[in-house]
Amino acid sequence: MSRLIKVDGLAADHWTRLEKPVDGKTVEVPEGNVIVPLSVWLAQRDRLEARDDIGVWFDSDEEPEALGIDCRRFPVIAVNFPKFTDGRGYSIGRLLRERYGFRHELRAVGDVLLDQLFYMKRCGFDAFVLREDKDINKAAKCLEFFSEAYQAAVDQTAPLFRRRERTVTEEAGEVAFA
């Protein structure tokens, strides 16, 4: 059964993820929808470029700068959380969305648990492959733990202080933030 959750509910997973090759080995990228390691994309770009069924995945120590705005071509990008306590993936998510303009599916993979889903969503993830032992039915609740947030992030681009300002100004009968 699929362990894929999207922000609007459970979803079928049409993608397979290719593991990182053992040092120095070249891997054969299979046919069909496949998410390849960043290193494989960079190494085999000439061969893979023509395909529209290729996604890439970043490990937590890899840098979105390696793709830059070129990331926009992929229908899906995955970010691996090798341990749920490794917080680098949150920065990767925001950079892909906010700096490089990635608009398609951004999925969290690896050690993805329930209590981190809300933060992942705020950092731009809209798909999550929940770890096997976690109750997928509790994901929806965990994605919505908070109804408000102080900071600007991908899901809410105005920090609370700007929205408060607007409320205050509107109450004063003025129009702010055209």
Partner 1 sequence: MYVYDEYDRKILNDRVKQFRDQTQRYLAGELSEEEFLPLRLQNGLYVQRLAPMFRICVPYGMLRSEQLRRLARITRDYDKGYAHFTTRQNIQLNWPKLEEVPDILAELAEVEMHANQTSGNCIRNTTTDQFAGVNADEVVDPRPYCEIIRQWSTYHPEFAFLPRKFKIAVNAAPGSDRAAIQVHDIGLEIVRNDLGELGFRVYAGGGLGRTPMVGPVIREFLPELDLLTYLEAMVRVYNRYGRRDNKFKARIKILVKALTPEVYAEKVEAEWAHIKGSPTRLTPEAIERVKAYFNEPNYQTLDDEPAELVEPRNGSRPFANWLKRNVKPHKKAGYAVVTLTLKETGVPPGDVYDWQLEKIADLADEFSFSEIRVTHEQNVVLADVRQKDLYRLWEMLKTAGFATPNLGLLTDIICCPGGDYCALANAKSIPVAEAIQRRFDDLDYLYDLGDIDLNISGCMNACGHHHVGNIGVLGVDKKGEEYYQVSLGGSSQRDATIGQILGPSFARDQMADVIDKIVKLYVETRTAEERFIDTFRRIGIQPFKERVYEPAH
Of 26 and 85, nearer to partner 1 (C-beta) is 85
Taking the complex as a whole, how short is the minimal distance between the CB of residue 47 and partner 1, in angstroms? 30
Taking the complex as a whole, how short is the minimal distance between the CB of residue 137 and partner 1, in angstroms? 12
Of 30 and 158, nearer to partner 1 (C-beta) is 158
Taking the complex as a whole, how short is the minimal distance between the CB of residue 144 and partner 1, in angstroms? 9
Nearest alpha carbon to residue 71 among 50, 42, 29: 42
Of 6 and 119, nearer to partner 1 (C-beta) is 119
Of 20 and 88, nearer to partner 1 (C-beta) is 88
Q: CB neighbours (10 Å) of residue 38?
A: 19
Q: CB neighbours (10 Å) of residue 135?
A: 9
Per the CB < 8 A criterion, the answer to whether 139 and 114 are in contact is yes
* Contact residues for partner 1, defined by CB under 8 A: 63, 84-88, 90-91, 94, 98-99, 113-116, 118-120, 122-123, 135, 141, 145-153, 157-162, 164-165, 168-169
User: Residue 4: phi, psi to the nearest 5?
Assistant: -85, 130
Element (H, E) at 46: helix 38-48
Nearest alpha carbon to residue 120 among 82, 81, 159: 81
Taking the complex as a whole, how short is the minimal distance between the CB of residue 85 and partner 1, in angstroms? 5
